[in-house]
Amino acid sequence: MQTSPHILMVRPAHFGFNPETAENNFYQLKDARPQQEIEAKAREEFDDFVALLRDQGVMVKVVEDTESPVKTDAVFPNNWFSTHPDGKLILYPMFSKNRRLERRKDLIELLMAADFQVNEIIDLSFFEEDRQFLEGTGSMVLDHDTKTIFACYSERTHRIPLDYVAHILDYQIVGFDAVQEVNGQLSPIYHTNVMMHIGSDLAVVCLDSIPKASEKLRVQSALNASGKKIVPITPKQKFNFAGNMLEVSNDGGEKFTVMSQTALESLSIGQLQLIEKYTTIISPSIPTIEKLGGGSARCMMAEIFLPRKG
């Protein structure tokens, strides 16, 4: 099952610019507005986003961020946990020390109280002691249909914890290096889901960001073997969050591709027609969250694949 009708989202309490993550997230930009205004605008964007999803019948579990401790990136829960159909819930090792505060036991208890079945909690945060990181479905783009993990290596995506997760899930890894030009210099792309999205029938990918021909071919071959239609995007479109998409479904089985308004406006008519051939597009406007947080629509949604009780 590639898509889930159940999404968990965390409503931000103190959203803002995080200097720790800005070390290698070049999508983050500072904002001169007062902090209270930024926080209020982020909550407004969040609420409008949730409303768009619910209008289409997508089931969204909204969890309020806690006031203390302050967690500027709490709106991006997909980095610290993932859930799986066999009842596994995995907690991930995070690069930024202040983002480790986002891991919340009460959030897991809320899922269980909502009749989701958690059979096993696998806590990989111990990797942080050795500065080994793997930031959930930011670091990994999962093709559940073919049991494949696509991952570009970076300061936030290390091979040892990646191998560990692949073993736990019994998935194969398609690993590669991906780069982007920042201020005239090439830098690693910090999260795979910045340059790649995989849905049931489509794969959106910035192949131009993979410098090694052999690795580019391996990614292409794996996607072709899965039977998915490849939608190539350019580096410029990637910088507009066109790779940061997620396919979700509603309780009627209708499929949607969720991308921000920024991403939508960067795509060509042909690209949009191809996506709309298979799914309906949902495109929230989240410029404040994108600018300061350096993450987009996909990062705000944690899929719930857990089985239901009873």
Instruction: Reply yes or no on domain 6-303 having CATH 3.75.10.10.
Output: yes
When pLDDT is averaged across residues 223-229 and rounded to a whole number, the result is 96
Give the mean pLDDT of the chain: 93
- SS3 (DSSP) at 209: helix
What are the domain boundaries of the chain? 6-303
Q: What angle do CA 141, 146, 149 make, to 5 degrees?
A: 30
Pairing mode of beta strands 280-282, 255-258: parallel
For position 309, what pLDDT does the model report? 86
For position 31, what pLDDT does the model report? 59
For position 16, what pLDDT does the model report? 72
Is residue 184's pLDDT more than 90? no
* pLDDT tens readout for residues 101-120: 999 999 999 998 988 999 99
For position 22, what pLDDT does the model report? 43
Q: What are phi and psi of 175, to 5 degrees?
A: -100, 150
Is pLDDT larger for residue 141 or for residue 31?
A: 141
Q: What residues pair up with 10 in beta bridges, in sequence order?
A: 63
Is residue 273's pLDDT more than 80? yes
* pLDDT tens readout for residues 22-68: 445 444 455 556 778 888 999 999 999 999 999 999 999 999 999 99
For position 291, what pLDDT does the model report? 86
